[in-house]
């Protein structure tokens, strides 16, 4: 099990925090996805967890920090993105290997470094479907083969936990599905898997639990079913020469219809079969009729918007909905979620004890929280948190008892929606007045580093009805949100048609859409890359939703990519 509490990282004073107050668990027997767009802070979070970055917070692997482990490679297998995103590095940070080395020799060499017999390397070549190319030099390897070799290296010490940064990034669908199958099998056998991804669909297919990040903050912590319901909407793509007429009929049947390209419509709220039958009964010709899944935008965090001369940063109060009694010390609102996306359960307002990771000044793995670090925390407890289930909240708060001294110094929550500048990282105060910025900077100096200012008491909570600020153009999630001027659909022939806009509200239907047919467990298209003996963990299988039985491969082609 991995327990993450209050991870915070500010790379440079005056820049936004790469990770802010990140708290979640990755449980044994399950796959946990850390999801977020580019620059959300996923890789930074992993590096903090592994002690490759200095920052604040605590990361425990089965109860111990990574850097306290005597033989970490026996406990945690790591696959980080390599230069260019193609290589991947092993737990020692070594890139996939010298191009002139043969794969088998490369893996045997790493096995010796880890202190396991070379037969373990051979075994892993088999398991990752690389045995047939074990005598080939690494320079001949495809990205998919490199990635599988990196996974084999991470598994050498037979770890019970896997931490993987975008392992399927850039791989072919076939290789990606192989990875998914392997990781699900690893989890089903009792292992802990934490994997990052930018793709909501991949998270839905791969994970049992999805942690969503936005600009370094956790904005949702959901079981996968809930994630699917709130972030993925099923719809049917229909194409043909008479779409206006069909759309009219569909709207009459209560479906949501929107235009989709030149001669197509996207339909929500009614199934593919029903659409086909309706078209047939009315003599409407169809060229295409296909199920698909549309990604809904993730919830977004909004930074503080104003400040006073006092040096205290006032955060925007939520425009609607009562705050929990324990959240009055300054929630940073997030944008409204799509309908049905706000989940039950609030993060504990109890200020958690957050020992720092390595201090900026030295390599020691841990130091207990210093008084100056607590400056922000003393101003008030962490407010109500982002979208979380009660389950995750309980786990996070239960494991971090507060030291008596800190507990007594933290005042009980009071109203006001005010965060002291000290409680915010310098970067989070981007929109505050100069006086507040000065206060923040000087406080940071007194704490010895920029990160000291990131006591990270700022947190987020979903706020229904809050206005949605403009998004950066690079946000890939924006592209997934369908947008259409409904009154201009098929303008020339359809002026009287009552179109309804679909896909944008996240509901996909009044009662909430059924889980999208992602083919997650059933799809064994990568079976040819996966042997039944792929995972030999020696751990008892843990019943989990992620449990899957790898299919016996057909003739594998290790050079498939
Ligand atoms: N070494 C660094 N120095 C300064 N800033 C950094 C450094 N590494 C990351 N950052 C910044 O931290 C933020 C988070 O980056 P990070 O790589 O963790 O995001 P990510 O979610 O992993 O993105 P991606 O999906 O593109 O890998 C970004 O704004 C990035 O520019």
pLDDT digits 0-9 by tens, 447-493 = 333 333 333 333 333 333 334 334 333 333 233 332 222 223 333 33
Least confident of 113-117, 479-483, 518-522, 539-543: 479-483
Q: Name the residue with higher pLDDT: 134 or 444.
A: 134
pLDDT at 209 over 90: yes
Q: Check residue 82 and give its pLDDT.
A: 59
Mutating to test ligand 1, I would choose from 14, 40, 81, 475 the residue with most ligand atoms within 8 A of its C-beta, which is 40
Q: Stretch 220-249: mean pLDDT, rounded?
A: 93
Bridging pattern class, strands 232-239 and 264-268: antiparallel
pLDDT at 400 over 70: no
Q: Which pLDDT band holds residue 261 (cuts at 50, 70, 90)?
A: confident
The closest residue, in CA terms, to atom 10 on ligand 1 is 18
18 lines ligand 1 (CB under 6 A): yes
7 lines ligand 1 (CB under 6 A): no
Q: Check residue 302 and give its pLDDT.
A: 65
Residue 368 backbone phi and psi in degrees, to 5: -65, 160
Cα 17 to averaged position of ligand 1 atoms, centre (Å): 10
What is the C-alpha to C-alpha distance for residues 221 and 212, in angstroms, rounded to an integer? 6
Distances (CA, A) of 334 to 223, 303, 337, 506: 20, 9, 8, 16
pLDDT at 56 over 70: yes
Q: Which pLDDT band holds residue 505 (cuts at 50, 70, 90)?
A: very low
pTM comes to 0.59
Q: Do 482 and 258 form a contact (C-beta atoms < 8 A)?
A: yes
Give pLDDT tens digits for 71-97: 999 999 999 975 544 444 443 334 467
- ipTM above threshold 0.85: yes
Q: Which pLDDT band holds residue 388 (cuts at 50, 70, 90)?
A: low
Q: Check residue 446 and give its pLDDT.
A: 36
Q: Name the residue with higher pLDDT: 13 or 313.
A: 13
Q: Check residue 168 and give its pLDDT.
A: 93
Give pLDDT tens digits for 274-295: 999 999 999 999 999 999 888 8
Least confident of 47-56, 202-211, 458-467: 458-467
What is the C-alpha to C-alpha distance for residues 136 and 486, in angstroms, rounded to an integer? 57
Share of the chain above pLDDT 90, in %: 43
Residue 342 backbone phi and psi in degrees, to 5: -80, 125
The closest residue, in CA terms, to atom 31 on ligand 1 is 39
Q: Stretch 13-28: mean pLDDT, rounded?
A: 94
Q: Check residue 456 and give its pLDDT.
A: 33
Q: Check residue 377 and give its pLDDT.
A: 36
State the chain's mean pLDDT as an integer: 66
Q: Check residue 218 and give its pLDDT.
A: 95
Q: Name the residue with higher pLDDT: 405 or 100.
A: 100
Q: Name the residue with higher pLDDT: 249 or 469.
A: 249
Q: Check residue 300 and give its pLDDT.
A: 77
pLDDT at 16 over 70: yes
Q: Check residue 297 and give its pLDDT.
A: 79
Q: Which atom of ligand 1 is nearest to the CA of 36?
A: 21
Q: Check residue 40 and give its pLDDT.
A: 94
The closest residue, in CA terms, to atom 23 on ligand 1 is 39
Cα 20 to averaged position of ligand 1 atoms, centre (Å): 13
Q: Name the residue with higher pLDDT: 489 or 143.
A: 143
Q: Name the residue with higher pLDDT: 401 or 259.
A: 259
Query: What is the greatest pairwise CA distance in the chain?
Result: 77
What is the C-alpha to C-alpha distance for residues 386 and 2, in angstroms, rounded to an integer? 20
pLDDT at 416 over 70: no
Q: Check residue 474 and give its pLDDT.
A: 38
Q: Which pLDDT band holds residue 233 (cuts at 50, 70, 90)?
A: confident
pLDDT at 534 over 80: no
What is the C-alpha to C-alpha distance for residues 304 and 430, in angstroms, rounded to an integer? 8
> In the chain, what is the straight-line distance between the N-terminal and C-terminal CA atoms, in Å?
33
Q: Do 23 and 216 form a contact (C-beta atoms < 8 A)?
A: no
Which pair of tokens denotes residue 360?
């900026």
The closest residue, in CA terms, to atom 28 on ligand 1 is 39
300 lines ligand 1 (CB under 6 A): no
Bridging pattern class, strands 19-26 and 2-9: antiparallel
Q: Check residue 282 and give its pLDDT.
A: 95
Residue 261 backbone zone (phi > 0: left; psi -120 to 50: alpha; other: beta): left
What's the residue count for the chain? 561
Q: Stretch 496-515: mean pLDDT, rounded?
A: 34
């Amino acid at each position: 099990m991995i327990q993450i509490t209050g991870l915070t990282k500010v790379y440079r004073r005056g820049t936004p925090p790469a990770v802010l107050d990140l708290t979640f668990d990755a449980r044994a027997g399950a796959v946990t996805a850390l999801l977020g767009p580019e620059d959300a802070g996923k890789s930074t979070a992993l590096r903090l967890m592994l002690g490759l970055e200095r920052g604040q917070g605590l990361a425990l692997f089965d109860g111990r920090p990574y850097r306290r482990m005597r033989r970490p490679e026996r406990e945690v297998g790591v696959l980080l993105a390599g230069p260019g995103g193609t290589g991947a590095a092993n737990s020692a940070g070594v890139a996939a290997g010298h191009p002139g080395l043969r794969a088998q020799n490369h893996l045997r060499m790493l096995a010796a470094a880890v202190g396991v017999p070379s037969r373990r390397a051979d075994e892993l070549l088999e398991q990752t479907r690389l045995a047939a190319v074990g005598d080939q030099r690494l320079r001949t390897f495809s990205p998919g083969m490199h990635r599988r070799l990196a996974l084999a290296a991470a598994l050498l010490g037979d770890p019970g936990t896997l931490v993987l940064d975008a392992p399927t990034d850039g791989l072919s669908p076939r290789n990606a599905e192989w990875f998914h199958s392997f990781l699900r099998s690893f989890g089903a056998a009792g292992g802990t898997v934490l994997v990052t991804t930018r793709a909501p669909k991949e998270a839905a297919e791969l994970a049992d639990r999805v942690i969503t990040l936005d600009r370094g903050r956790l904005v949702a912590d959901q079981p996968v079913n809930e994630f699917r319901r709130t972030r993925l909407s099923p719809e049917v793509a229909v194409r043909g020469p008479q779409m206006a007429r069909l759309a009219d009929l569909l709207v009459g049947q209560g479906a949501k219809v929107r235009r989709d390209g030149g001669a197509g419509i996207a339909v929500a709220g009614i199934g593919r079969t029903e659409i086909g039958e309706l078209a047939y009964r009315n003599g409407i010709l169809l060229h295409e009729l296909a199920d698909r899944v549309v990604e809904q935008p993730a919830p977004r965090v909004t930074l503080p918007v104003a400040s006073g001369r006092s040096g205290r940063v006032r955060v925007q109060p939520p425009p609607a909905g009562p705050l929990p009694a324990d959240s009055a010390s300054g929630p940073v609102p997030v944008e409204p979620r799509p309908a049905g996306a706000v989940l039950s359960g609030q993060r504990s307002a109890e200020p958690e004890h957050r020992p720092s990771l390595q201090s900026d000044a030295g390599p020691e793995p841990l130091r207990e929280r210093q008084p100056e670090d607590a400056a922000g925390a003393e101003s008030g407890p962490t407010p109500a948190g982002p979208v979380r289930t009660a389950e995750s909240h309980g786990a996070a708060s239960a494991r971090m008892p507060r030291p008596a001294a800190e507990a007594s110094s933290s005042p009980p929550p009071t109203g006001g929606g005010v965060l002291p500048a000290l409680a915010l990282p310098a970067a989070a105060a981007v929109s505050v007045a100069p006086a507040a910025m000065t206060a923040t900077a000087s406080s940071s100096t007194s704490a010895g580093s920029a990160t000291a200012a990131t006591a990270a008491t700022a947190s987020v909570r979903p706020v229904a009805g809050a206005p949605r600020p403009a998004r950066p153009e690079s946000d890939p999630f924006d592209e997934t949100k369908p947008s259409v001027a409904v009154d201009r659909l098929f303008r020339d022939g359809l002026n009287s048609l009552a179109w309804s806009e679909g896909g944008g509200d996240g509901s996909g239907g009044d009662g909430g859409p059924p889980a999208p047919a992602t083919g997650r467990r059933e799809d064994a298209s990568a079976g040819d890359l996966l042997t039944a003996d792929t995972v030999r963990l020696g751990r008892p299988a843990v019943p989990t939703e992620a449990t899957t039985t790898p299919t016996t491969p057909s003739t594998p082609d290790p050079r498939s990519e």
